[in-house]
Amino acid sequence: MIHAKYLLPVVIGWAVVFSCAIYQVTAKQRLTALLLTGLLAGWFLIAKLPISELWKSPGDSIRGIILSQEERYKFLPLVFETPHQFIQYFHYGNKELRARAMYVAGPAWALHYRGVDAADQNLRVAAPFFSLPIVSWERFRTEHQQFLLAKSHSDNGWILQKLRDEGGRIELVSPYPSFMLFFVTLGPAHSL
């Protein structure tokens, strides 16, 4: 996913390259090169780049949603089903979002449901070095009976499948363009 704020350096870079090319083509007429470059770069910025998005982070989309939910969701942990989604929102989120965000790693369950456990293993190893809130499935189960689950629209996660198998209660709170938010109450634990 390319965020709009990363496009600004690209636009500036191409404006510089374009101005150098125009400068060479127009027999080194600086004013012509600068005017054409300014017009084209300005047009691109105004017409093609969502300026209002430049100062928003990807975490804004979920931050407002979580903060505006009912009182019963206010202090629940927010679990992200996929590692990519977790890293993205944890990195860009504000303090309140980061305080509630966590990734539940269960390499054995990931291997069982998805056939691969690399992401869960890697996040468990990286957690102490980057202060990431990564907890094991077993520990998470003992500490939280209810939580919010942010599930991306891809089928890369294993937690929702595990919850269904355990008979957990899963309520859709809200569907959003990049994820669905569920309120989850755990069912009885199952082992492999």
Q: In this structure, what token pair is assigned to residue 154? A: 């891809």
| Beta carbons of 104 and 136 less than 8 angstroms apart | yes
Residue 188 DSSP one-character state: -
Amino acid letter at 123?
L
Provide the whole-model pTM: 0.67
Residue 160 exposure: Cα atoms within 13 Å on the Cβ side: 20
The string of pLDDT tens digits covering residues 72-119 is: 787 889 999 988 888 888 888 778 888 889 999 999 999 999 888 888
Query: Residues 5-53: pLDDT tens digits?
Result: 666 677 777 777 877 777 788 777 778 777 777 777 776 666 655 555 5
Q: Tell me the β-bridge partners of 151.
A: 180
Q: Which of 27, 45, 26, 46 is nearest to 36 (CA)?
A: 26
Determine which of 60-74, 95-109, 136-150 has the lowest per-residue pLDDT on average: 60-74
Looking from the CA of 119 toward its CB, the CA atoms found within 13 Å total 19
| Residue 185 per-residue DSSP state | E
The DSSP symbol for 47 reads I
Q: What would the pLDDT profile of 169-184 be if each residue is shown by its tens digit?
A: 999 888 777 788 899 9
What pairs with residue 182 in β-bridges? 149, 172
Q: Residue 16, CB half-sphere, CA atoms under 13 Å: how many? A: 5
User: Which of the four pLDDT bands, split at 50, 70 and 90, describes residue 65?
Assistant: low
Q: pLDDT at position 135, please? A: 94
Strand 101-105 versus strand 134-136 pairing type: parallel
Q: Where are the alpha helices (DSSP H) in the chain?
A: 7-25, 30-43, 59-67, 83-92, 95-100, 107-114, 118-130, 137-143, 159-166
